Structure 1
Amino acid sequence: MDLQKRPEPTAPASVKPAELRASDADRDRITDILRDALAEGRLTAEEHSERVEGVLATKTVGELDQFVRDLPVAHGPRATPAYSIAPNRPTAGAIPLEPDDNVVAVFSAAVRKGRWRAGRRIHAYAVFGSVEIDLSEAIFEYPQVVIRAISVFGSVDIRVPENVSLRGSGAGVLGSFEVKTLDGGDTGAPVVYVDGLAVLGSVEAKPKRGKLIADILDRVTGRVSERLDKSLRKHLDR
């Protein structure tokens, strides 16, 4: 009996590095370069904002280079590879070094406010519920904070200090997605980006009047100084 010869499997086509999907680390590397270019005066605040928004929406590694092509760093020797290699999967029970911050409300309410540390990426999900993210007194550890807000029959309210930059792009499907654009006066102030989707719900991001990062730092510094003075007086009275 003759056996039909099966076709030999073809080798998968090789993917060029520029065609690889961009990771968060790849985007962070480019946004850091753009931040330095802004501080050096090579980019205006408007150009910086437009390019960072483009970086966050980029899909592949090759597309990232277009945002720094006209900057000196793009024509010098690379200190880091053009793309980052995905690390090995963590073992069971391992804690990631930089996890995303998730704020979830399903038929309930979730609030993140007060003196808390804002991560690089925050995910807010409101499903038949409400989420409130108040950054007016938060500690910013990163120059850019990205908030992904999804609202389905719910609401996501985001408040930021007056002296940060606020950007956003999203969509509303029988709902409202509103981000009040804000340009921080200080080039070193953090930039908050809000994107996402509102389906029969609402997403709103705007500054909180009377709240400034500098004021918060002054109050904290004043409290620390006051405590040191009290401790010193107690020591001298002994």
Structure 2
Amino acid sequence: MTSPQEDTSPLPSKDDRETALQRLQEAYADERISHQEMDERLGRVLTAKTQSELAEALTSLPEEHAGTVSTIGAAVGRIQRRGAWRVPRTLKVESAYGRVRLDLSRAIIEYPVVDIELQLGTGGARITVPRDAVVDVEGLRTGLKDLRYRARQPSGPGEPRIRITGTMGTGRLKVRHARR
């Protein structure tokens, strides 16, 4: 067993734990792990004090469903999603030249944490998130223009978390909360 001085991995975040719990639930629902194994792993996830302990609780689990990662892209033109569309766990958006419009306000969000990875050259992006969503833009690198986002005060437990990462070239990203 490693001592706390030997293990330098950071503490697991709330998002890391929620993602791990989601993976366990999916594996159990797909009958890839037994009820007893799920109970044991749940305990390990909830009591993990380091990232490595959290990772150990997930070893030998099947990878996330292929349907939980989706890529949309266009070399030139507009990328747009709106209405009641199903949001994958991880959405990769790639565009060399063009605008991106993602409206998650009426989308079906099945995951507690959604990662949106942007790889945009020129052209801007606008993302509308649900009214009660918590947005994290710390992993986003912008080029010429700054990000436009005014964070909202979290309304309570259970709100979806939207993490936006990636690279913006010359365009601007605007993130806003839905009004309804």
TM band (smaller chain): 0.5 to 0.7
Q: 1:171 aligns with which of 141, 144, 167?
A: 141
**1:105 Cα deviation (Å)?**
2.7
CA deviations on 1:149-169 (whole Å, 9 max, x unpaired) are: 122111121101111212212
Alignment of 1:27-106 (within 5 A): 30-32=16-18, 73-74=47-48, 81-82=56-57, 84-85=59-60, 97-106=66-75
Distance change (3 Å), C-alpha of 1:183 and 1:107: same
User: Could you give the per-residue CA deviations for residues 53-74 of structure 1, whole angstroms, max 9, x where no partner exists?
Assistant: xxxxxxxxxxxxxxxxxx9712
Q: Which has the higher strand share?
A: 2
% identical equivalent positions: 22
| 1: CA distance, partners of 2:48 / 2:20 | 11
Q: Describe how 1:145-156 pairs up with structure 2 within 5 A.
A: 145-156=114-125
Partner Cα distance (1:79, 1:204) in 2: 34
Query: Match for residue 192 of structure 1?
Result: 162
Give the drift of 1:142.
Answer: 0.4
Cα offset, 1:127, TM superposition = 1.5
Q: What is the alpha-carbon distance in structure 1 between the residues aligned to residue 169 and residue 81 of structure 2?
A: 22
Native 8 Å contact 1:162 1:184 kept in 2:
no
Q: Supply the AA of the counterpart residue of 1:163.
A: D
Is 2:115 the counterpart of 1:141? Answer: no
SS at match of 2:106: coil
Q: Structure 1: give runs of 5+ residues left out of the alignment.
A: 1-17, 20-25, 36-70, 89-95, 211-238
Paired residue secondary structure (1:81): helix
Which protein is bigger by CA-based radius of gyration? Answer: 1
The aligned amino acid for 1:155 is G
Q: Tell me: CA distance 1:72–1:127, structure 2 relative to 1, closer, same or farther (3 Å).
A: closer
* Structure 1 stretches of at least 4 aligned residues deviating more than 4 Å after TM superposition: 26-29, 85-88
Alpha-carbon deviations, 1:74-126, whole Å to 9, x = none? 27xx89834535869xxxxxxx6334122223211111110011111111122
Alpha carbon RMSD of aligned pairs, Å? 3.6
Alignment check: 8 A CA contact 2:136 2:162 kept: yes
| Contact 2:87/2:108 (8 A) holds in 1 | yes
Higher fraction of helix: 1
Bigger relative contact order (CA 8 A; separation at least 6): 2
- The partner residue of 2:152 within 182, 185, 194 is 182
Q: Residue 41 of structure 1 corresponds to which residue in structure 2?
A: none
Q: TM-score, normalised by structure 2?
A: 0.65
Q: 1:33 to 1:202 in 2, by over 3 A?
A: closer
Partner SS, residue 116 of structure 2: strand
Q: Find the counterpart in structure 2 of residue 14 from structure 1.
A: none
SS of 2:157's partner is coil
What is the rounded CA distance, in whole Å, between the counterparts of 1:131 and 1:196 in structure 2? 14
The question of whether the paired residues in 1 share the 8 Å contact of 2:100 and 2:126 is answered with yes
SS in 2 for 1:187: coil
CA distance in 2, matches of 1:192, 1:31: 15
